[in-house]
Amino acid sequence: MTINNLDAVLSNEMEAYSHPWSKGIFLDCLQSGYHCNVLYTQEKAVGHSVLMTVVDEAHLLNITIAPCFQGQGLGCYLLDVLIEHAKHLNATTMFLEVRESNHTAIALYQRAGFNEVGIRKNYYPLAKGRENAVLMALPLTSGG
């Protein structure tokens, strides 16, 4: 991800979420040196991700597939790429938060080996109120 493809990223982000990340958030992630990916198919940006690593932990901050490309295995592919990248950076655990109501994403993460390790109360905004986040973790060591 670069500033040059940020418009495509923002377009997918706004299409996918009721409360999308802003351009400023993505710029902050780029400037902070986070691992920011854009997934292309046939020269079209169809997904993106942001992964932060600190010492031996990787934190998946954002993973998005454009709605019209969901259900084709692209989210699974992108998640696998991110897991391998985290391993390459010697992370021992990968964490993420997901909306409690996002059963499709939770199932994807469980298939990849993530387990629920906690709940963050009122983490995500809703049109009216807040929604809990499920905190999930994946051990990346050879024993996990």
| Tens-place pLDDT, residues 41-70 | 988 999 999 999 999 999 999 999 999 999
Q: Is the pTM of this model over 0.85?
A: yes
User: Domain residue spans in the chain?
Assistant: 3-139
Annotated catalytic, 97? yes
- Based on the residue annotation, tell me whether 109 is a catalytic residue of this protein: yes
Catalytic residue from among 40, 77, 100, 109: 109
Pick the CATH number of 3-139 from 3.40.50.10890, 3.30.70.20, 3.90.1150.10, 3.40.630.30: 3.40.630.30
Number of H helices, E strands in the chain: 4, 6
Q: Which tens digit of pLDDT belongs to each residue from 9-26?
A: 999 999 998 889 999 999
Q: Is 102 marked as binding a ligand?
A: yes
SS3 content of the chain, % helix, strand, coil (to 5): 35, 40, 25
The pLDDT confidence band at residue 142, using thresholds 50, 70 and 90, is low
